Structure 1
Amino acid sequence: MTWTTNSCLVTLAILLLWRVEDLAQACSCSAAHPQQAFCNSDVVIRAKVVGVQEVEAGNDVYGNPIKKIKYDIKQMKMFKGPNQFIDAIYTGPSSAVCGVTFDTNGKKEYLITGKLEADGTMHVTLCDLIELWDSLTETQKKSLTQRYETGCDCKITRCTSIPCILSSPAECLWTDWVIEKMVNGEQAKHFACIKRSDDSCAWYRGSAPPKKDFLDIEDP
């Protein structure tokens, strides 16, 4: 075997490793508090998924067809979005490209957040908040209509190790990971980051909207 052949094999191996790393990193998402997911999304709906099909969405730069998965849905309620009815959502063809898989028997209800494309279609990825409706806490369900939107001007900063420092009064420190070793902890389940009358932000716990001003994270 010549040096040239060895060199080609090494180069091929490196390219394959890069490709594996690219695929592994193709869908990488930062954990987000449900309020962040709500505020960062164009559309937030409650829906059942009733059908699925693979569709083509144009071609890539090499002329190859781009595949997407289209899920037909039955929209139950829109919490945030355009003045139009959403009857389908689109996602990537595999989890490697952040594609989402839904149960299509129409029996399960989902909370689905996503982006609105220029053509008016809704697109979702694994980085969006997608949960079974029955798995949400009552506080989370009520916050979709009463509280999350009032705190969209606030910043939620995730604390991953102690000490954690806030850089602005308009921030709330999200400590579920350091305290409970999970992102779906007490603050995610039962709290919202709300702006107070002095423009600072603080965690608020409770099912009803907070009063104009509040002092701490306890129920009013």
Structure 2
Amino acid sequence: MSVSLSAAVTLGLLYFLSVGLNEQVAEGCKCLQRHPQQVFCESDIVIRVKVTGNVAGTRPDLVAYSVKVITKYKPNNKKAIWVIYSDKTSCGAHLENGEYLLSGRVVAGVMVFGLCDLVWRWDQLPSVQKRNLNLYQTGCACEITSCTGASCLNTKHQRKCLVGVKNSISLGYEEALQAVCLPGRHGSCRWQKGLK
């Protein structure tokens, strides 16, 4: 009897361990859903590049890509970027040759990006997003915040644009993707749509 009880306990432990490990592997990389303007404002670098291929990198934990910068949205400086890096973890992004809009952070003097950053093929980026890119920097003083229920009705959000239930002061997520959160009169922020 003690052998079968021991075997049952062992099988039970193995089952729970395998479920836990499978959940960790299946989860991989989790990114919070954020408005593209939020990602833009929180990034150190936002660029449109033409990826020309993989190159041998100096950092073994990162994948290196050779790029030609087409437009530098952030920061607007003259420092040349020839190589960019992606994590080799599950949060890393794989690029093919072609044009991309990418955002990322500066780590030890190089640009590093991942799946939670802006990683969009330029030819698949909606035209409204392309237009809004030039306005996002202007709205970085504002905060884009999710709201639910009664919090979507609160009009005291001076420096915030709300995303949640669509009403007179907040937008649904899909509609917010077509808009930019910009400062208005008296320092309050509000959604602006249909900008050219």
Flag whether TM exceeds 0.5 (same fold). Answer: yes
The total of aligned residue pairs comes to 187
- Out of 103, 109, 122, the position equivalent to 2:96 is 103
Alignment of 1:1-220 (within 5 A): 1-52=3-54, 57=59, 67-81=61-75, 83-93=78-88, 97-104=90-97, 108-117=98-107, 119-145=108-134, 147-159=135-147, 162=149, 164-166=152-154, 168-175=157-164, 183=173, 185-189=174-178, 191-207=179-195
Q: What is the TM-score of this pair, normalised by structure 1? A: 0.72
Query: Structure 1: where are the runs of 5+ without partners?
Result: 59-66, 209-220
The residue that corresponds to 1:216 in the other structure is none
* 8 Å contact kept, 1:162–1:178: no
What residue ranges of structure 2 are gaps of 5+ in the alignment?
none
Equivalent pairs: percent with the same residue?
Answer: 33
Q: CA deviation at 1:178?
A: 6.8
Counterparts of 1:148 and 1:114 in 2: how far apart (Å)? 15
SS of alignment partner, residue 187 of structure 2:
coil
Question: Shift of residue 139 of structure 1?
Answer: 3.7
Question: What SS class does the counterpart of residue 72 from structure 2 fall into?
Answer: strand
Deviates more, 1:81-90 or 1:41-50: 81-90
1:206 Cα deviation from its structure 2 partner: 4.3
Residue 168 of structure 1 and its aligned partner are, at CA, apart by 1.9
Q: 1:55 to 1:22 in 2, by over 3 A?
A: farther
Query: 2:177 aligns to what SS in structure 1?
Result: helix
Change (3 A) 1:52 1:6: farther
The equivalent of 1:212 in structure 2 is: none
* Matched-pair contact (CA < 8 Å) for 1:54–1:68: no
1:133-152: CA deviations, max 9, x gaps? 2233444223323x211111
Output the amino acid matched with 1:127.
C
Q: What is the TM-score normalised by the length of structure 2?
A: 0.80
The Cα shift of 1:83 comes to 4.8
- 1:99 Cα shift? 1.7
Cα RMSD of the aligned pairs, angstroms, is 2.8
**Counterpart Cα distance in 2 of 1:69 and 1:14:** 35
Q: Which amino acid aligns with 1:205?
A: K
Quick one: which amino acid aligns to residue 139 of structure 2? G
Runs of 4+ that moved beyond 6 A: none
Partner-residue secondary structure (3-state), 1:143: helix
CA distance in 2, matches of 1:68, 1:4: 45
